[in-house]
């Protein structure tokens, strides 16, 4: 992202922060959104530290700068990623006649559809990690500070973990099938303490949008759309290589 874009978003969120602080001081109407939740977190931390006689430098806190950074991250990381996965999911729903409206009304199965779409086309092609301590794994020595590049897309397409990986099959993520597989073979949202902070929100958002669309419309892949499996571009993000066309019919 260009520096001017960073500056725009920082200034926008900084102005929003100051405006909200003023509204709070004047006891005006409170806002019910993510940014206000972050601001409330800062306020609670500051009050707790003041009561305990602590300073901001004595422990890690949610500072104004960190709050603005989190707000920026949520906006940037949470838009295009969810948007692309949802688009690809619509394509699968339009192409697979075995998946019916009744299927999508079952929350567990809808989750399986979302996870299988994320398995076939994970938004991030790789995860970057830094080794935090010297360690030896299967005879290979790694030093603190070594950089790791984890190939998410390659892992998700490995037939050793997923039979016929090019085929869309939500049953891969049924409770019994998930339990029989190493959890590290599915990394759409990362894994462990550094996993995606917005994972639950993104999944909830997709469930709500998909359920709303499917309840009112029937989807089918248009004749001029590319054949399945979709061809994708794998750079930093996975995206369809060509425009995806879907016919929408009102139920």
Residues in the annotated binding site for heme: 196
Tell me the binding residues: 196
User: What are residue 122's phi and psi, to 5 degrees?
Assistant: -65, 135
CA distance from start to end of the chain: 41
Instruction: List beta partners, residue 237.
Output: 124
């Amino acid at each position: 992202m260009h520096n001017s874009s960073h500056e725009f978003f920082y200034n926008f969120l900084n102005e929003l922060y100051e405006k909200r602080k003023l509204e709070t001081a004047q006891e005006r109407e409170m806002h019910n959104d993510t940014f206000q939740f972050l601001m409330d977190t800062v306020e609670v931390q500051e009050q707790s530290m003041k009561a305990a006689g602590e300073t901001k430098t004595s422990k890690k806190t949610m500072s104004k700068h960190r709050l603005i950074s989190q707000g920026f991250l949520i906006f940037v990381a949470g838009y295009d990623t969810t948007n692309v996965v949802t688009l690809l999911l619509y394509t699968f729903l339009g192409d697979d006649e075995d998946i019916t409206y009744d299927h999508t009304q079952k929350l567990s199965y809808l989750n399986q559809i979302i996870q299988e779409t994320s398995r076939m086309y994970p938004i991030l092609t790789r995860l970057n990690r830094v080794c935090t301590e010297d360690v030896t794994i299967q005879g290979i020595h790694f030093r603190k500070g070594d950089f790791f590049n984890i190939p998410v897309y390659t892992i998700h397409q490995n037939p050793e973990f997923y039979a016929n990986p090019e085929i869309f099959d939500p049953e891969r993520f049924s409770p019994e099938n998930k339990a029989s597989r190493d959890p590290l073979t599915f990394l759409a949202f990362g894994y462990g303490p550094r996993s995606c902070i917005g994972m639950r929100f993104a999944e909830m958002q997709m469930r709500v949008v998909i359920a709303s669309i499917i309840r009112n419309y029937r989807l089918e892949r248009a004749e001029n759309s590319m054949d399945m499996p979709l061809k994708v571009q794998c750079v930093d993000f996975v995206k369809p290589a060509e425009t995806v066309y879907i016919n929408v019919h009102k139920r």
